[in-house]
Structure 1
Amino acid sequence: MKISCNLLAAGAASLLLVACKPAETQQAQVQPMAAPVPAPPSKSLKVIHPGPFGTQQGMTLKELETTIALTKSKEFFYTSGDAPAPNGDFTAYGYWITPEHGLCKVTGISDAIKTNVFGEQLRDKYGAVKGALVEKYAKPSFDKDYVERGSIWTDPQDFMAGLQKQDRALGASWYAHGPDIPAKRSVKLPPGLSMIELDAMADGHSDGKLVLAYSFENNDKCLEVMKAAKNKSL
C-alpha cells in the first residue's frame, strides 16, 4: 500500500515539533501525583467502667495509665486531675493501687467552696451531693453532724473554725457489710463496692471542700500490702 508523502511529511513535522519543545513545557503537561495524606494517629479508646468515676475493683496501674495521666504521690498512691468518667463536682482524684490487688480505693476532691463562717454554702453543696448519692444508692448507714465534747467551737458562727480544727464533723457513710456494721445499717451497693464516704472539710474560715471516697472489697487486702511495705525496714 502506498502512503502519501504529504502525510508522512506532516507526521514527521509533528514529531519534530514535539521533540523541540522546551523541557519546562513538557513537564508542565505531566502533573505529578499528589502525595497521599497520612492518616491521623489513632487514639486509644478511653476505657470507662460502670463503677465510681468510671473505675472498677482491681484495675491495674497500666490500665489506668492508658486512660488518664497519673502522678505517683507516694508508694501505692497516685493522683490525677482526671478520671475515666470525671464528675463535675470534683476536680482532683486519688487512686490507691497495689501490684497484687490492683485498684482498691478511689477518691474525688472538689474545688474550694467559698462559704461564710456559718458554713452555709458548704452545707448546701454537701447536701446536694449527698442527695445525689442517696438517690443512686440508698440512705446512708451513718450520718455525722456534731461537735466534739469539750470543744470551744460550739456557736453557729464557729462552724468553719470547728471543722478546720476537726472538733466538728459533717459527713455520711454507706456500708455494704462489715464486722462492726449492724445488718440494719448495711445498704446494697453495686458489686465490688464495700463502702462510700462523703465528708465536708475546711481549709480556712471561708474555704471548704468535699471529699468523696469509694472503697472496694479488696481494700483490706491492699491495706495489708501497704502495712507490710511500711514495716519492712523496721
Structure 2
Amino acid sequence: MKGIIGITAILGSILLLNTTPAAAWDGPFGLEMGLSLDQIKRVAPVTYSKPTYVTSKVPVPNAAFDDYRLLLTPQTGLCSITAWTPEIEGHAYGDAVMAKFAQLSSMLSAKYGKPSSQFDFLRQGAIWKEPRDWMMSLEQKERTLATFWGGDGAPLPNGISNIAIKAVPMSSRAAMISLRYEFKNFEECRALLNGNSSSGL
C-alpha cells in the first residue's frame, strides 16, 4: 500500500510540473536582461528575423501589444525588447493615436517615474501644420511624438538602461506605437552585432 501511495505522489508531482505555467522573470513582459535563446524558447515561440527574434507570446503580455521583437547575441543574451501595437486607424486629426500614446505613457510613468525627456512637436517650416494634418505630418516625418526614460533620469529597475515609446506612421491614416526597452548590456550587444567589439584588446 505504501508503495502505491509513493508512486501516486511521484506521478502527481510530474503532472503538476507539466501543468505549471511558464516561468516569468521580473523584467518587462516577464523577461529580463541576459536571457539566452534557449531560456526564451522555453516560454515564447520565436521566429528568427536577423538580427532579432520575433514572437507574439511572452510570459507576461500586455493587451496593448501583439508583436514583440527580441534582440540578443550568444555572448550577451537578451539586450533589448521592442513591443508593437496593432495599427491604430483614425481620422486625419490623429485623436486615436494620441489617446493610446497618452494612455501607455501614463502607465509607464506610474511604474518608472517621470520621463527624462518628452517630444511632441511639429518641425519648424513644416508644410503639414494644420490640426487636420496631424497624421500626414507624422507620416511625412514633420511631427515627432516620443517619450524617453533613462539617460540622465532616475535609475531604472531590472537592468533596464533606457525606455522609449514612439508613434510610428504606417500611412496617412494609421500608425503604430512602439515601446522599446534597452538593457545595460545593449551597447555590448550592438557592438557585437556591428562587429565592433573591443573584447580581447
What amino acid maps onto 1:145 in structure 2?
A: D
Residue 89 of structure 1 corresponds to 64
What amino acid maps onto 2:143 in structure 1?
A: R
Residue 48 of structure 2 corresponds to 72
What amino acid maps onto 1:218 in structure 2?
A: N
From 104, 111, 130, give the equivalent of 1:155: 130
Give distance in 1, aligned partners of 2:21 and 2:148: 34
8 A contact 2:32–2:158 mirrored in 1:
no
8 A contact 2:68–2:83 mirrored in 1:
yes
Shift of 1:218: 0.2
Give distance in 1, aligned partners of 2:166 and 2:172: 17
Q: Which moved more, 1:164-173 or 1:41-50?
A: 41-50
Residues 147-189 of structure 1, C-alpha deviations (whole Å, 9 max, x = no match):
12232111111111111122211010001x4xxx4xxxx1231
Task: Please list every run of at least 4 consecutive aligned residues from structure 1 whose deviation after the TM superposition is greater than 6 angstroms.
Answer: none
Shift of 1:140: 0.7
Give distance in 1, aligned partners of 2:58 and 2:138: 28
From 15, 36, 47, give the equivalent of 2:23: 47
TM-score (norm 2): 0.85
The structure showing larger relative contact order (alpha-carbon pairs under 8 Å, at least 6 residues apart) is 2
From 53, 58, 61, give the equivalent of 2:34: 58
8 A contact 2:122–2:144 mirrored in 1:
yes
8 A contact 1:44–1:66 mirrored in 2:
no
8 A contact 2:33–2:158 mirrored in 1:
no
Q: How does 1:6-17 map to 2 (within 5 A)?
A: none
Aligned residues: 182
Residue 183 of structure 2 corresponds to 216
8 A contact 1:116–1:205 mirrored in 2:
no
Shift of 1:45: 4.3
Residue 88 of structure 2 corresponds to 113
Residue 141 of structure 2 corresponds to 166
Shift of 1:200: 1.0
Residues 114-136 of structure 1, C-alpha deviations (whole Å, 9 max, x = no match):
21101011101111110101111
What amino acid maps onto 1:204 in structure 2?
A: S
Residue 130 of structure 1 corresponds to 105
8 A contact 2:119–2:146 mirrored in 1:
yes
Residues 177-216 of structure 1, C-alpha deviations (whole Å, 9 max, x = no match):
4xxx4xxxx1231030100000012212221211000000
TM-score (norm 1): 0.74
Instruction: Please tell me whether Structure 1 or Structure 2 has the larger radius of gyration of its CA atoms.
Output: 1
Shift of 1:63: 0.3
8 A contact 2:55–2:67 mirrored in 1:
yes
Consecutive unaligned residues in structure 2, runs of 5 or more: 1-13, 197-201
Consecutive unaligned residues in structure 1, runs of 5 or more: 1-38, 230-234
Shift of 1:43: 5.1
Residue 74 of structure 2 corresponds to 99
What amino acid maps onto 2:84 in structure 1?
A: I
Residues 2-23 of structure 1, C-alpha deviations (whole Å, 9 max, x = no match):
xxxxxxxxxxxxxxxxxxxxxx
Secondary structure in 1 aligned to 2:181?
A: strand
